[in-house]
Homo-oligomer: A and B are copies of this chain.
Amino acid sequence: MPNLQDVAKKAGVSTATVSKVLSNTPYFTEETRDRVMIAVRELGYMPNLAGRALSSGKTNIVAVVFPYIYDPIFKDPLVMQILEGIEAQCTSEKYNILLSTPRVSAEEIDPHYIQLIQSGYIDGLIAIDNVPINSVAVPAIERNIPTVIIGYTDEQYSVRSDDLGGAKLLMQHILELGHRNIGIITVPQDTNFALNQRMVGIQQVAEEAGMCFTDIPVSYGNYSTSSGVKAAKILLEDHPNLTAIICLNDRMAIGAIQQAYQMGRHVPDDLTVVGYDNISAASMALPPLTTVDQHALKLGQVASKMLFSIFEGAMPDSVVVPANLVTRGSSASLNT
């Protein structure tokens, strides 16, 4: 593999000159540039990134950190969408993505992850930080690595979806359809900031409509479809009069629909079920699921753009990406 020296020798100049030409730093003639470029081409020279990293401190690598906590992250379609958004942006800016999935617990953060952020291998970091147990972003920020957080945080740079607003839209939709006997399927409180906010959104709309929020029956799952099945069973057995169930993610909603059929209740005629996230399976479900699209792809894009602007010395404001309601066949008005 040829190095700068080889190119310099071939072009009859010093390595410093080659470096200048390649980085477009002033003071060289057109002629020198040509000689250098020809040598580069003939040798098939490509800079060694490790050398460059050591010397300049820049690696052109951004770490994308998906803490591996509750729900194995690879099962979460949102993660993919976020990653897709980040990928698009990083690719166009010629950055590489280093995917890190540290094991996180309340007591400890994966030492291998700490090693990574201390290694000098990373120019910046985008972290999903949405769970209260322990922050994966803080150790990076402490080490002065430019960091953008996707999620709820007090740190400076963050991007998040408007969970409050999205949940309000969803609840408004349910109320507009005439439902008043509503159940909720969510995850245990304070395990996920986003879902907390969605609950708050539902509460606000409920109270604006004069309903007593604490009267609304709630059942708990763990994000999975099967947990949605169980939660719906409990809910429908204890409250047979429910006409609508709001599930705070799509997979649990799909489980709820299945359970409803099991119990002889047809969706949406006998029961409205709505979800949240607009995963791809939501549109493939039968009936297709009414849900909220939080534009996870955009979340990833915005986070990447924010990171690149920080690289350039900016101090961007945090961004809240609006969510919007996707009305499909699983919700219907209470009537007849």
Which residues of A are interface residues toward B (Cβ below 8 A)? 1, 46-51, 53-54, 59, 61, 64, 72, 74-75, 77, 80-81, 83-84, 87, 91, 94, 96-101, 103, 112, 114-116, 118-121, 143, 225, 251, 254-255, 257-258, 261, 280-281, 283-286
Query: What are the 8 A-B residue pairs with the smallest beta carbon separation, nearest first?
Result: A74-B84, A50-B53, A49-B119, A281-B281, A46-B118, A286-B286, A50-B54, A48-B120
Across the interface, A284 reaches (CB within 8 A) one of B120, B143, B281, namely B281
Given contacts A280-B75, A285-B284, A286-B261, contact A96 B116 (CB under 8 A): yes
A74-B87, A97-B100, A280-B281 known, 18 other contacts, Cβ within 8 Å: A1-B118, A1-B143, A46-B118, A47-B119, A50-B59, A50-B121, A51-B120, A72-B84, A74-B84, A96-B98, A96-B99, A97-B98, A97-B99, A98-B99, A99-B99, A281-B284, A284-B285, A285-B286
Given contacts A47-B119, A49-B120, A50-B50, contact A284 B254 (CB under 8 A): yes
Across the interface, A112 reaches (CB within 8 A) one of B53, B80, B94, B97, namely B94
Chain B residues, Cβ within 8 Å of A286 = 257-258, 261, 285-286
Closest to A66 in B: B87
A99 to B91, CA, bound (A): 11
Is the CB–CB distance between B98 and A61 below 8 Å?
A: yes
A120 to B112, CA, bound (A): 21
Chain B residues, Cβ within 8 Å of A97 = 98-100
Chain B residues, Cβ within 8 Å of A59 = 50
A64 to B101, CA, bound (A): 14
Kindly provide the distance from the CB of A321 to the nearest chain B CB, expressed in whole angstroms. Answer: 18
Kindly provide the distance from the CB of A73 to the nearest chain B CB, expressed in whole angstroms. Answer: 8
Closest to A224 in B: B280
Kindly provide the distance from the CB of A124 to the nearest chain B CB, expressed in whole angstroms. Answer: 15
A84 to B99, CA, bound (A): 11
A94 to B257, CA, bound (A): 42
Chain B residues, Cβ within 8 Å of A280 = 75, 225, 281
